[in-house]
A and B are shown apart, each in its own frame.
Chain A
Amino acid sequence: QKEVEQNSGPLSVPEGAIASLNCTYSDRGSQSFFWYRQYSGKSPELIMSIYSNGDKEDGRFTAQLNKASQYVSLLIRDSQPSDSATYLCAVNIPNAGKSTFGDGTTLTVKP
């Protein structure tokens, strides 16, 4: 089992729809979770970090964490073509001083 798994893409949604990106992780002791966005040819940039169970909202983005189910998700409301990118889920490995990235989900928002 991979340490971090993301829903296989690519994911395509129409403009204005909600995009849902999912990530599961294997280490129950993980405490910190991050969503990064990476445009083609660019470096990853942080969208959201989440540390506690529940929802965390920032503008059109909502991260959801459920530690019991070892599940973290990112919802993008009112999706825009500029949201088209690869979204990477990163999970801290406890006491290891490093994070593990999922393989990424490529999102395309069609006008």
Chain B
Amino acid sequence: DTEVTQTPKHLVMGMTNKKSLKCEQHMGHRAMYWYKQKAKKPPELMFVYSYEKLSINESVPSRFSPECPNSSLLNLHLHALQPEDSALYLCASSHPTRAQQVGTQYFGPGTRLLVL
């Protein structure tokens, strides 16, 4: 099973709302990632969890709050977002390898977020 699942597929929220994005994998991967992707742009790394600990925060605004409850689950909590945060949010997972090399990343289908 090489599947990463994400819910919801689509999300519309107002700037005062609080919502959460969920990601799940059962491949035994111990590295999980959140990316943000705008139209016609490459994925932009937001957070990395390695062995359930936050290892990378790419200076993401605090209105985005990641959480890794266990080795299979990754959440992204959203609060007080801005319209410019509208994008496709991708979750990915991989085996971490030696010397912090990133192995093949398996991407979920993404959550398309619209902030009004």
Contacts and interface: CB of A to CB of B under 8 A. Distances in A.
Interface string B93-114: 0001101111111111110000
Contacts of B56: 96-98
Contact of B107 (A44, A95, A99, A102): A44
A88 interface: yes
Interface string A20-57: 00000000000110101000001111100100000000
A43 B102 contact: no
Interface in B29-72: 31, 33, 41-43, 45, 48, 50, 55-56
B103 A97 contact: no
Contact of B102 (A32, A45, A103, A104): A32
Contacts, number: 59
A95 B102 CA distance: 9
Contacts of B48: 97-98
A74 to B, nearest CB: 15
Interface residues of B, number: 26
A101 interface: yes
A97 B43 contact: no
Contacts of A32: 97, 101-103
Contacts of B105: 34, 44, 46, 90, 99
Contact of B100 (A44, A90, A95, A103): A95
B42 A102 contact: yes
A64 interface: no
B90 interface: yes
Nearest to A6: B42
Given A97-B31, A97-B55, A98-B56, A31 B101 contact: yes
A14 interface: no
B99 A95 contact: yes
Nearest to B100: A97
Contact of A43 (B45, B55, B90): B90
B102 A101 contact: no
Interface of A: 31-32, 34, 36, 42-46, 49, 88, 90, 92, 94-99, 101-104
